[in-house]
Amino acid sequence: MTAELTLDLPWVEAPSAQLEDLVVRRGRAGTLAYEDGIVLDVHVIDPSAFESPAALVDAARSSTAPGRVVLVAGAVPLSWRADLRDAEVSFVDVSGVAEITWPRVHVSAKRFGKPVKRRRGPLAFQKGHGLVVQELLVLTADGSQPTIGELAAGAGVSVPTASKAVTQLAEHGLVAKRRDGTRVSVEVVDRVAITTRLAERTSWPGEEMLTGFLWGRTTFDVAARISDAATRADVELAVTGRVGAAYHGVLGTSSPKEVRCWVDVRGRSLGDVAEALGLEPATEESSNVLLSADRWRVGVHRRAGVQFDDLTASVAHPLRVWCDLHDEQRGSEYAAQMWGAVVNGR
């Protein structure tokens, strides 16, 4: 019997994928629907919230209830998977591995979904549209429905620019406009689809990039030092990528080799900005800092001072860091760990 699984996760292929007798679709509600009409809720658990496989197994078992199945979804450590299999806890990993054991559904696959990749598509973001879309996702994380004017003010763009960006999303069925007299508010219909397309079309790097070297004990120290230098030089800078993710609490087993920074050049050359930051010229192989000109301010917008141990750096918003992670080594795994912060606005 074929069953249909609907999940609201960014690495689920759209519109659907076939895994043995299971059809996987991306949608707003987590459900498992059988051909005979029975529909079960799917309770998704993020593995990054647990410190051990035993704790994860306990949480999965305690979440089981009539009319519900449990699915562990995200970056599942390789060393944990045997424990999950032995406990018959179903899981899907961002790398594509899926082990599902539910009533009348048994799937073991190595290709569950696909990573987010940068590409051109029918929904291209032009000029300030990407910044408007990013601001829309930030403002609606708590379920709010901002007006066009509020979006424009938050993004720092004109009302016509914000209106055109929203209209483009509405034409693709991703948002809905709600009119109440003269007030026009925006409701997000498919948050995952919008976030994924934002990453595809605005992710790191921009059109111009420069490599350099700045002394520091670690890449995290370099991030703090270049943030201090940016403040002194009056340069708007935001750390992103794996170093940015670490400052936001998503750590890996190895340190990243470089600090990726968006910078608003304000009409200057990227070389002039690098000099103002005190960067030494360096080849890609010997560099530990990558600068990218942030033409539309998607990187520096809503940046904030974030603390990591005793260090503080100017770091991009979690949504922007998520968008920029995917082309890094094991970037999809780090992005999966950050997904909760993205969808919940943390």
Total-model pTM: 0.78
Residue 56 predicted with pLDDT over 80: yes
Q: What is the mean pLDDT of residues 137-157?
A: 91
CATH of domain 203-344: 3.30.460.40
Which of 22-31, 116-125, 199-208 is predicted least confidently? 116-125
pLDDT digits (tens, 9 = 90+) for 236-272: 999 999 999 999 988 877 788 899 999 999 889 999 9
pLDDT at 122: 43
Name the one residue in this structure whose structure tokens are 């943390």.
Answer: 346
Task: Sort strands 105-109 and 98-102 into parallel, antiparallel or unpaired.
Answer: antiparallel
267: left (phi over 0), alpha (psi -120 to 50) or beta: left
Share of the chain above pLDDT 70, in %: 90
Is the model's pLDDT at 13 over the cut of 80?
no
State the fold for domain 129-200.
Answer: Arc Repressor Mutant, subunit A (1.10.10)
Instruction: Determine the Cα–Cα distance for residues 198 and 34; give it in Å rounded to an integer.
Output: 33
- pLDDT of 66: 87
What is the per-residue pLDDT for 115? 55
Mean pLDDT estimate for the chain: 86
Q: Where are the domains of the chain?
A: 3-109, 129-200, 203-344
Nearest to 310 by CA among 247, 255, 254: 247
Q: What is the mean pLDDT of residues 11-32?
A: 72
β-strands 259-264, 304-308: how paired? unpaired
Q: For residue range 157-185, what is the model confidence (pLDDT) as tens digits?
A: 999 999 999 998 998 888 898 888 778 88
